[in-house]
Amino acid sequence: MLKGIVFKNLVHFEDKISIDFVKSPTKTARSRKKGDINRKNSDLHQAEKADVNLNPPENGLNLFVGANFCGKSTVIELIRRCMTEEINLSQTRSFSLESNAYAFCEFELDSYQVLSGFIKETENSKICQIYKIFLYRHINKTDIFLRWKKPGCRVVTQSDPIFQAEPQEDLLSLLKETEKSIESIIEKIKVSEKSTLLYHKMLNLLNRNTPEEPNWKKIEEKYAATFHLEELEWYNGAGVEK
């Protein structure tokens, strides 16, 4: 399940934008669900009074409605870029070169929570580096691990956790409130780059908390790619028959 996206300083969007794709049933709908009938009336009343969601989030239809050039295609394009390990030659342009730009999507992959995206690091009003980022953790664990990649280099998996968060906390919330998480990721990568390849291999062998999966390939296998509207018209549906 694609749970949400957060991005900043890309195309039309200078400020940080956060979009939640998770559909939560309304209080009225929840009270009518079969599973709620067996609950004690007092428990249900107290939960609804406190606006507590008694049911887990469920998938729903999300629609983008807006005028031309308001950013609908930008959001779709950013989702697509978050779904793959590839670092495209034609990058989504930054709104400004005075600060870093980034986009991250949160996915659920089997028993893992995943935050996948990219960071465009700027220095002296120029893009100095582009990183593909993959943060993941087991749904019942607090430790959050990092995989990263930059153009022309292999994927590196950090052996020690980069963040910690309570199991019930969404990974996307790490990026919604502060820029410190982005800065911490970049700093962690720069420290890692100073280490040797042998050092990373030794750490990965010694630390069993860094599995080969989940990874970008798992996202590509589970979720369908997206197409621009112009591409759908160009192929006339032939490219999306499957």
125: domain CATH number?
3.40.50
Least confident of 5-19, 143-157, 176-190, 212-226: 212-226
**Are residues 205 and 155 both part of a single domain?**
yes
> For the segment 169-216, what is each residue's pLDDT rounded down to a tens digit?
888 888 877 778 899 999 988 887 776 555 555 555 544 455 677 888
Side-chain-facing half-sphere of 95: CA atoms under 13 Å = 18
Higher-confidence residue of 143 and 59: namely 143
User: What local confidence, expressed as pLDDT, does residue 160 receive?
Assistant: 86
**Are residues 157 and 110 both part of a single domain?**
yes
User: What local confidence, expressed as pLDDT, does residue 78 receive?
Assistant: 92
The range of the structural domain enclosing residue 11 comes to: 2-21+70-238
| pLDDT over 90 percentage in the chain | 29
**Are residues 152 and 205 both part of a single domain?**
yes
Is pLDDT above 60 for 1?
yes
pTM as predicted:
0.75
User: What local confidence, expressed as pLDDT, does residue 114 receive?
Assistant: 94
Residue 57 to residue 100: CA distance in whole angstroms = 32
User: What local confidence, expressed as pLDDT, does residue 8 receive?
Assistant: 95
| Strand ranges, E, within the chain | 2-8, 17-20, 101-109, 112-123, 126-138, 143-149, 156-157, 163-164
**Are residues 117 and 16 both part of a single domain?**
yes
> For the segment 64-89, what is each residue's pLDDT rounded down to a tens digit?
888 888 888 899 889 989 988 888 75
For 64, phi then psi, to 5°, come to -105, 120
Contact between 137 and 168 (Cβ < 8 Å): no
39-62: average pLDDT: 50
Is pLDDT above 90 for 104?
yes
Q: Please, which pLDDT band fits residue 11 given cuts at 50, 70 and 90?
A: very high
**Are residues 102 and 142 both part of a single domain?**
yes
**Are residues 77 and 187 both part of a single domain?**
yes
**Are residues 11 and 89 both part of a single domain?**
yes
Residue with tokens 């979009």: 19
- What single-letter DSSP state applies at residue 147? E
Contact between 147 and 126 (Cβ < 8 Å): no
Domain count, the chain: 2
Residue 80 forms part of a structural domain: yes
User: What local confidence, expressed as pLDDT, does residue 147 receive?
Assistant: 93
User: What local confidence, expressed as pLDDT, does residue 192 receive?
Assistant: 78
User: What local confidence, expressed as pLDDT, does residue 21 receive?
Assistant: 86
Higher-confidence residue of 230 and 180: namely 180
**Are residues 101 and 209 both part of a single domain?**
yes
- Extract the tokens encoding 155: 């994927």
Contact between 136 and 115 (Cβ < 8 Å): yes
Average confidence score pLDDT of the chain: 76
9-34: average pLDDT: 70
Contact between 82 and 103 (Cβ < 8 Å): yes
Residue 151 forms part of a structural domain: yes
If we measure between CA atoms, which residue out of 52, 23, 17 comes closest to residue 36? Answer: 52
Residue 185 to residue 170: CA distance in whole angstroms = 17
Cα Rg of the chain, angstroms: 20
Q: Please, which pLDDT band fits residue 62 given cuts at 50, 70 and 90?
A: confident
- Extract the tokens encoding 210: 């860094």
**Are residues 10 and 113 both part of a single domain?**
yes
Grouping H, G, I as helix, E, B as strand and the rest as coil, residue 3 is: strand
Grouping H, G, I as helix, E, B as strand and the rest as coil, residue 104 is: strand
Is pLDDT above 70 for 7?
yes
Residue with tokens 């989030």: 57
Residue 64 forms part of a structural domain: no
Least confident of 44-58, 98-112, 218-232: 44-58
Residue 179 to residue 157: CA distance in whole angstroms = 22
**Are residues 84 and 133 both part of a single domain?**
yes
> For the segment 119-151, what is each residue's pLDDT rounded down to a tens digit?
999 988 888 899 999 999 998 899 999 999 998
Residue 63 forms part of a structural domain: no
